[in-house]
């Protein structure tokens, strides 16, 4: 491994730990870092990012699925929300896969930049 890849592994590990602990996927962080440190093209970086988010989510689930809510007799994971979220997540995932297959890397980069700018703006408004 090159020094750039080793430092990228350290940065990605720290960023994914923070993303998992905070409860977010981290895809907006992982894709640019994969492109910078490992010189992956956009399509491959998006695919690898999706896999790392899956692993992070799975590890978070394994560490919290037995935890109990401090104030009521229930688990800390709200399983009933899956009825609302699962259909939209599936539609979004399938749409994202088709977009990744259909569009060239440059258009994907532009779309990702626009998405990240919108999310950054919404975060600043909420802050």
- Judge if pTM exceeds 0.75: no
For residue 89, count other CB atoms closer than 10 A to its CB: 11
Give the pLDDT of the chain (127 residues) as one tens digit per residue.
Answer: 789 999 999 998 898 888 777 767 677 788 888 999 999 998 898 888 888 878 877 888 888 888 888 888 888 877 888 788 889 989 988 998 899 889 998 998 899 889 889 988 988 898 8
Tallying the residues shown for the chain, one arrives at 127
Residues ≥6 apart with Cβ < 8 Å to 4: 37
pLDDT score at 77: 78
Q: Which pLDDT belongs to residue 25?
A: 66
Take residue 70 and report the two structure tokens written for it. Answer: 């401090």
CB 69 within 8 A of CB 76: yes
- The separation between CA 88 and the C-alpha centre of its own chain, rounded to angstroms, equals 16
Q: Rounded to 5, what percent of the chain is helix, strand, coil? A: 80, 0, 20
Q: How far apart are CA 45 and CA 28, in angstroms?
A: 11
pLDDT score of 13: 87
């Amino acid at each position: 491994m090159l020094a750039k890849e080793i430092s990228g592994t350290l940065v990605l590990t720290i960023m994914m730990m923070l993303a998992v602990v905070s409860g977010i996927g981290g895809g907006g962080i992982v894709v640019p870092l994969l492109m910078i440190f490992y010189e992956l093209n956009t399509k491959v970086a998006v695919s690898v990012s999706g896999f790392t988010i899956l692993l992070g989510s799975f590890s978070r689930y394994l560490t919290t699925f037995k935890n109990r809510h401090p104030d009521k007799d229930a688990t800390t994971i709200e399983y009933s929300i899956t009825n609302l979220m699962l259909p939209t997540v599936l539609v979004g995932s399938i749409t994202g896969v088709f977009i990744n297959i259909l569009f060239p890397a440059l258009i994907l980069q532009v779309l990702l930049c626009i998405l990240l700018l919108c999310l950054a703006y919404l975060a600043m408004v909420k802050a």
